[in-house]
Amino acid sequence: MEQCLKLLGEKFLASTANGDLFFDAKLKDTLHHLEKFCEQLASGWDLGGEEFADNRFCELAVNYFRLRLRLLSLWTGDGDYVLSPSDKKFVQKEYRKMFPRRPDGRGPSLEFRPLEIPSLGWLREGAARTCFRLVQLTMTSLIEVCVLRELDFFEIENLGMGSGRLELYRQRGYSASGSASEQEAAQFWMELAASLLANAVAIERSQMRGERRRARQVPAIRNE
């Protein structure tokens, strides 16, 4: 996830949206929380059990997906997946959830937001369908990049595993808070998120290399 966030930072700086102070602040905020979490894991700090670590990972992953889709909605590079108008509205709504309100209630604040003790709130907030739509949009965009870029090293079928189950959760969510189905949905979401993060590193690196190669070729062609 740390590599994904840093690559997202590179794409942000190279985009026409690089003046967005809110995006930059929340990207750094998320990276800070992730680095602290990694330090806790590496030091053997008592996190209170595996459930704590799983939920913290998912909280941070939700924010990464929100940021990645937000940048995609603001700036689409050559070979990127283009979000539909309805998806853009959804992404904007999710993006706003990342910011605390100003003390006077007028709009979002750049204030740093400390993380609380993690729980399944990341899944319950706004209903489970929201979280599953975030991973579905991310999956679709990554697959489209592979197709458009003709990235033959990438096994698309691995990314699409469980797509039927994903659609079911996206439409129905889970039955009740604290139920076995909620725990099952959370475990499935976490596994899918981890797979998307691992694939995103390879895909985005390949995409950025291709963009840099084309940028170097353009002046050469003009000089011929």
Query: What is the rounded distance in angstroms from the CA atom of residue 173 to the CA atom of residue 164?
Result: 13
Q: What is the pLDDT of residue 206?
A: 80
Residue 45 belongs to domain spanning: 2-223
Whether 176 has a pLDDT exceeding 50, the answer reads: yes
SS3 content of the chain, % helix, strand, coil (to 5): 70, 0, 30
CB atoms closer than 10 angstroms to residue 212: 11
| pLDDT, the chain, mean | 82
Average pLDDT of span 18-45: 90
CB atoms closer than 10 angstroms to residue 8: 21
Q: What is the pLDDT of residue 94?
A: 93
CB atoms closer than 10 angstroms to residue 22: 16
Average pLDDT of span 139-158: 71
Nearest Cα to Cα of residue 128 among 197, 196, 68, 186: 186
Q: Which residues pair with 108 in a beta bridge?
A: 101
Whether 152 has a pLDDT exceeding 90, the answer reads: no
Tell me the whole-structure pTM to 2 decimals.
0.86
Q: What is the pLDDT of residue 157?
A: 47
Into how many domains does the chain fold?
A: 1
> 90-94, 159-163, 179-183: which range is least confident on average?
159-163
User: What is the DSSP code (8-state) at residue 132?
Assistant: H
> 5-19, 57-71, 144-158, 170-184: which range is least confident on average?
144-158
User: What is the DSSP code (8-state) at residue 178?
Assistant: T
Whether 12 has a pLDDT exceeding 90, the answer reads: yes
Query: What is the rounded distance in angstroms from the CA atom of residue 149 to the CA atom of residue 28?
Result: 29
Start-to-end C-alpha separation, the chain: 42
Average pLDDT of span 187-195: 90
> 8-22, 30-44, 89-103, 150-164: which range is least confident on average?
150-164
Query: What is the rounded distance in angstroms from the CA atom of residue 98 to the CA atom of residue 67?
Result: 9
Q: Which residues pair with 101 in a beta bridge?
A: 108
Percent pLDDT > 90 in the chain is 32
CB 54 within 8 Å of CB 60: no
Q: DSSP strand E in the chain: where? A: none
Nearest Cα to Cα of residue 31 among 1, 58, 57: 1
Q: What is the pLDDT of residues 75-131, one digit of tens each?
A: 876 667 889 999 999 999 999 988 888 777 777 888 877 888 888 888 886 567 889
Residue with more model confidence, 101 or 161? 101
Query: What is the rounded distance in angstroms from the CA atom of residue 131 to the CA atom of residue 123?
Result: 6
**DSSP codes of every residue in 95-133:** HHTTSPBPTTSSSB--------S--THHHHTT-HHHHHH
Determine the distance from the C-alpha atom of residue 38 to the mean position of all C-alpha atoms in its chain, rounded to a whole number: 18
**DSSP codes of every residue in 137-150:** HHHHHHHHHHHHHT
